[in-house]
Amino acid sequence: MASILGDKIFLFQYLSVISVCVLTPSVPSTILKSGGNMFQLGCLMSISSVARMISKIICEELLKITGKQQLLKFSLIASTLLNGALWFASSSTAIIINRVLFVLIYQVPMLTEQLYGKQGEPKSIYRNPQVQRITATLIGCATVGSLIDRRGFYVIVMIATTISIATLAIFLQMQPQEKTKEKKLKASDVATVFSKSYSHIVKNIRDTDIHFANWDALLIKSLLVTQSIVVFILFVVMVIFVFRGNGAWVNTTAAYQLIVVLSIQFAFNKLKNKIDNYANPKQILENSALICTIFAMCLAFAPSYPFYLVMFIPLVIARTFVENYFVDVFELKKNQKLGKI
């Protein structure tokens, strides 16, 4: 019985990730084709980042007064309806509003982990969450690459919605895991949650010690987020609109990027101890951030597709260093400040 439940949880999680990865790469190019521009696309990315943060805070407040099962069910139903609503979105503005609402509501990964817990060490490599995300990303890019040339956004929407419905159906067949009866939300409860969430966000902003050099931490975080968007989302736009490629190019580029990222991360993990002896973490982070910025600019203004592929390698190398040394450096600075208090 436990094995069957574990299989359902695995399938449920995997389909949930695939439904997002199938739809996400097609959104930027469709916004541009629907009359949007790069400014609107940038606004979507920025607002989505803020919405994701707010959504997490609201979800944490809701969990204090209601059950995980109820919230997960709501998140699945609402996100499925939003995916389906894209079928009727004919303008870039409608698509942008739809995706921002989706980010606000979609909390399936976090709620699933809290409801069912971690299933221990995966018995198969395909059950590893990292492998799930990687394969789902490839499936998504391959789907977009195969259909986007034929103006197939609405076909992609139909595929993503169907997968979302299948995910919801699997979830409804699974037995509730919470022993206590879940409290149903009332209008007053929701109002209280939004009030507490607002206070939480304001407190976080006020607690940010901007004079201590947290500004550089925020700057580097923004840099990493921006590069993630360019590398792993907007590359579809670049391949199709800048390099005049087709769906096959998108598929090939996605596979190439995945292989490069995994190879560099694997090599870094093997060599990290030797790298630590070469220089202190702060120097490594500073140099890596500078190199990362330079190659990000080269990538963004790549004059040709081969040049883009070549510049991608040093960018990922530098970005890997930044990601790995970022936490060490700023946690050290934070601890040093606390020690002086």
10-residue mean pLDDT series, the chain (341 residues): 59 86 83 82 80 83 79 90 91 92 88 67 56 74 68 84 92 64 56 66 56 55 63 72 77 80 84 79 83 84 89 90 77 52 44
Count of the separate structural domains present in the chain: 2
Q: Looking at the structure, do residues 230 and 257 belong to the same domain, yes or no?
A: yes
The pLDDT value given to residue 336:
52
Q: Are 109 and 16 in contact (CB under 8 A)?
A: yes
DSSP 121: S
- State the pTM of this model: 0.70
pLDDT of residue 137: 74
Q: What is the pLDDT of residue 8?
A: 75
Which of 206, 223, 246 delimits the end of a domain?
206
Q: Are 65 and 195 contained in the same domain?
A: yes
Residues 14 and 141 reside in one and the same domain: yes
Measure the CA angle with vertex 217, ends 283 and 318; round to 5°: 50
Residues 63 and 176 in one domain: yes
Which residue pairs, CB below 8 angstroms and at least 24 apart, start in 86-94?
Answer: 86/23, 86/154, 86/157, 86/161, 87/154, 87/157, 87/158, 87/161, 90/34, 91/34, 91/35, 92/31, 92/32, 92/34, 92/35, 92/36, 92/40, 93/36, 93/40
Q: Is there a single domain that holds both residue 46 and residue 179?
A: yes
Half-sphere exposure of 281 (CA within 13 A, CB side): 14
* Tokens 């050290």 -> residue: 332
Q: Supply the range of the domain harboring residue 230.
A: 208-341
CA atoms within 13 A on the CB side of 105: 18
pLDDT of residue 77: 92
pLDDT of residue 35: 84
